[in-house]
Amino acid sequence: MKWRTAWAALCLWALLPAPPPGWAQSASSRPNRVHNPNVPEALTIVIRPEGFAQKVVRVPRGIYALGVFNRSGLDDLALELDRMPGRTIEGPAAERVSTGVAAKRTARWLRRVTLTPGTHRLRVSNRPAWVCTIEVR
């Protein structure tokens, strides 16, 4: 039931206007909030015409309803979420966590992901400069 609540909140958020530049937040990043890694939380990331609105996102380990919102104006952005072998986002991934397309008609990519401690790379496949680092504690 908690997963459905998080998912519903993320879907409702998708109907709102685009957030300001540099905005990406998980529920656990709010002050005075205790994080439970077994309870899903929403994690939203925005892509603007110049790339990811926030280059680095820091979250605790856990289950997330990851929403990537395509506000770039471009059609069908192919996204890749990779777990990296070290602390860098360069080079080959240790594990592919998820892939998908943020289609223009929906302007979003929604996935349920389990983020484990370490560095994760979220990138747009055909735009090498568009990379968001997700650091998981």
- More confident of the two residues 93 and 26: 93
What are the backbone dihedrals phi and psi of residue 4, each rounded to the nearest 5 degrees, phi first? -65, -35
Instruction: Please tell me the predicted confidence (pLDDT) of residue 28.
Output: 47
Confidence of residue 3 (pLDDT cuts 50, 70, 90): low
Instruction: Please tell me the predicted confidence (pLDDT) of residue 8.
Output: 56
Instruction: Please tell me the predicted confidence (pLDDT) of residue 107.
Output: 83
- Beta strand 127-136 with 118-124: parallel, antiparallel or unpaired? antiparallel
pLDDT in tens, 26-79: 444 556 667 777 788 999 999 999 999 999 999 999 999 999 999 998 888 999
Instruction: Please tell me the predicted confidence (pLDDT) of residue 116.
Output: 93
Return the closest-CA partner of residue 69 out of 137, 121, 132, 119. 132
Contacts of 133 by beta carbon, 8 Å cutoff, 6+ apart:
55, 56, 57, 89, 119, 120, 121, 122
Q: Is the pLDDT of residue 23 over 50?
A: no
- Beta strand 41-48 with 62-70: parallel, antiparallel or unpaired? parallel
Confidence of residue 9 (pLDDT cuts 50, 70, 90): low
Q: Is the CB of residue 101 less than 8 Å from the CB of residue 76? A: yes
Return the closest-CA partner of residue 132 out of 72, 80, 76. 80
The pTM of this model reads 0.73
Helix, strand, or coil (residue 9): helix
Instruction: Please tell me the predicted confidence (pLDDT) of residue 5.
Output: 59
What are the backbone dihedrals phi and psi of residue 29, each rounded to the nearest 5 degrees, phi first? -85, -5
Domain annotation for the chain: domains and CATH numbers: 2-136 (2.60.40.420)
pLDDT in tens, 99-133: 888 876 778 889 999 999 999 999 999 898 999 99
Instruction: Please tell me the predicted confidence (pLDDT) of residue 120.
Output: 95
